Chains A and B, each alone.
Chain A
Amino acid sequence: MPDPSAATDASAVAIRLDGVTLKRGDRAVLTDFSLAIPTGKVTAVMGPSGCGKTTVLKLITGQLRPDKGRVWVGETEVNKLRGADLNHLRRDIGVLLQNGALFTDLTCFDNVALPLREHTKLPEPLIRRLVLLKLQTVGLRGAATMYPRELSGGMNRRVAMARAMALDPGVMLYDEPFAGLDPISLGASVRLIREINRALGITSVVITHDVEEVPKFADFCCIITDGRVVASGTPDQLHQSDQDVVRQFMKGLPDGPVPFHFPAPPIADDLLAVGV
């Protein structure tokens, strides 16, 4: 079974986190965390809320730096990059943030055109064609002149997807792309992630906890809990896993290795506390 956390062939790995530890205050968000994302595939990073999924994404983009360990994107060690070098790397990474993060004072067209105008010297007629093609890919060429406030949340995210791939990046990162979407928008987003990955031949990482949708787009999955990768494999392999934590997550069981209750003293002590 291909195991993304254990892949060793450098050319087969697009992104690698090696023994990463990251703390926020006294709390360790990730502890000795290792993960390898295979090149040219769609990898789903799953786990319960607050387990450190988005932190992984921020480590890959260089928004966060690990306290220990190393982060690689291709041949580049991200945690050593600063300023212009980091920006150079980021031009090759498209990121879809959770709520799209479109600029509300710009039209959809101008939102998608922004990275092209900033980072290329292409003439405006060519930029126009490129933007319209990107918007056509996400099915929103007809909304080019509209503002984000005039579109639904799902449409906003599709425009943001077009913006993220405006510079034809080698890696696409999606942070919770399905959160709060209606079934039609959700279906469209799943298809787009798959299609974009196939058509552009890129590497995609999808941060999600939508267990039902994962088999429709992901080649590989890994599950994170308590800042560690606890399981990885194909979606089918994870569905058939007999590991308790994997079963709990894949079947959506409210209690198990990931407890329902936040750590607290025994309830009897709290209820019978004197003087409260």
Chain B
Amino acid sequence: MTMPSSLGGRLLAEPIREFGRAGIFLVTAFARMRFGPLQLGEILRQVYFVGARSLVIIVICGFFVGLVLTLQTHDTLTRFGAGDSVSTVLALSLFRELAPVLTAILFAGRAGTSITAEIGLMKATEQLDALDLMAIDPMERIVQPRLLAGVLAVPALVLVFNVTALLGGVFFSVYMMGSDPIVFWSNMQASVELMKDFMGGLMKGVVFGFLVSWLAVYFGWSAKPTSEGVALATTQTVITSAIAVLLIDFVLSAFML
């Protein structure tokens, strides 16, 4: 294939090729998907590794995001005499945008990098070859469980993020600023739509979980089997995941509004 002659064309050509390769990889992974007792056990094990082990960072970040968001909105809204709407702003911004997006980016940093590094190192130490030689499909044994684990884990983590961020908001608004808790909760209840706002955010979590896991397993799978190659692959996972999540978030938000 000839290289495009313009600078813009050359800059775009490689990302498009990479996207094509990642697409073919994904189609192959789905085409070879198989569910047996061993496979389900491995998926659950991966949900624990990528999900449960990300809980601490999600809880801590969620709490502080809720805290700082309430601090900023409380200050601004009080100036305009709308201090009672803090919980509405907090809940809508969390459920619709902040929780799914931040959880996905944190997930990419915590679990995505570990998936990429693990698969890259398995490649470098011939573990993928060993599976292949034992007539065990590495795509089925290694890639698919990690891909599906992300789809299951991220929405659950979004839920946890929502809860801890709300607790952070309640802590600041009710306990530090003395707002009325009944007003806080009732305003939130009145303004949040369960399906559109709350479930929409969880759906975003499913999409982002799939996106981040796909990129993480792809970059691990295609990493050069050297220490430099694995390091580069983990960096690619974080950067590409963050950009992809923000980009897809805009598209999803535009459709969901």
Complex Cα–Cα for A114 and B141 (A): 11
- The residue on B at minimum CB distance from A87 is B135
Contact status B126-A117, CB under 8 Å = no
Q: Which residues of B contact A88 (CB under 8 A)?
A: 135
Of A93, A99, A103, A117, which contacts B38 at CB under 8 A?
A: A117
| Complex CA–CA separation, A101 to B124 (angstroms) | 10
Is A97 touching B135 in the complex (CB atoms < 8 A)? Answer: no
- 24 A-B residue pairs with Cβ-Cβ distance under 8 Å, sorted by A, are A63-B132, A63-B133, A86-B135, A87-B135, A90-B132, A90-B133, A93-B133, A95-B130, A97-B126, A97-B129, A97-B130, A98-B126, A99-B125, A101-B126, A101-B130, A102-B127, A102-B130, A103-B127, A104-B125, A114-B134, A114-B136, A115-B135, A118-B136, A119-B135
Q: Which residues of A contact B (CB under 8 A)?
A: 61, 63, 86-88, 90-91, 93, 95, 97-99, 101-104, 114-115, 117-119, 160, 163
Q: Are A101 and B125 within 8 A (Cβ)?
A: yes
Cβ–Cβ contact B134 & A63, under 8 A: no
Given known A117-B38, A118-B38, contact A90–B127 (CB-CB < 8 A)? no
Where the two chains meet, the residues of B that have a C-beta atom closer than 8 Å to any C-beta of A are: 38, 125-127, 129-130, 132-137
Total A-B pairs, Cβ < 8 A: 48
Q: How far is the CA of A124 from the CA of B204 in the complex (A)?
A: 41
- Contact between chains at A95 and B133 (CB < 8 Å): yes
Which residue, B38, B126, B137, has most C-beta atoms of chain A within 10 A? B126
> Of the candidates B38, B127, B136, B137, which one forms a contact with A101 in the assembled complex, judged by CB atoms under 8 Å apart?
B127
Complex-state Cα separation, A93 to B134, whole angstroms: 8
With CB as the reference atom, state the residue of chain A lying closest to B49. Answer: A105
The 3 closest A-B pairs by CB, nearest first: A87-B135, A101-B130, A101-B126
Task: Please name the residue on chain A nearest to B32 by beta carbon.
Answer: A83
A91-B133 in contact (CB<8A): no
Residues of A within 8 A of B127 (CB): 101-104
Closest-CB distance, A49 to chain B (whole angstroms)? 17
What residues of A have a CB within 8 angstroms of the CB of B129 in the complex? Answer: 63, 97, 101
- Considering the chains assembled together, what is the distance between the CA atoms of A93 and B136 in angstroms? 13
CA distance A98 to B133 in the complex (A): 13
A61 touches B136 (CB 8 A): no
Residues of A within 8 A of B135 (CB): 86-88, 90-91, 115, 118-119
Judging by beta carbons under 8 Å apart, are B126 and A115 in contact? Answer: no
Contact across chains for A118 and B134 when beta carbons are under 8 A apart: yes
Chain B residue at minimum C-beta to C-beta distance from A95: B133
Q: A172 to chain B: closest CB distance in Å?
A: 12
Inside 8 A of B126's CB, which chain A residues have their CB? 97-99, 101
Q: Which residues of B contact A117 (CB under 8 A)?
A: 38
Measured in the bound complex, the distance between the Cα atoms of B132 and A118 in whole Å is 12
Kindly state the separation between the CA atoms of A21 and B59 in the bound complex, as whole angstroms.
59
Across the interface, which residues of B come within 8 angstroms of A90, CB to CB?
Answer: 132-135
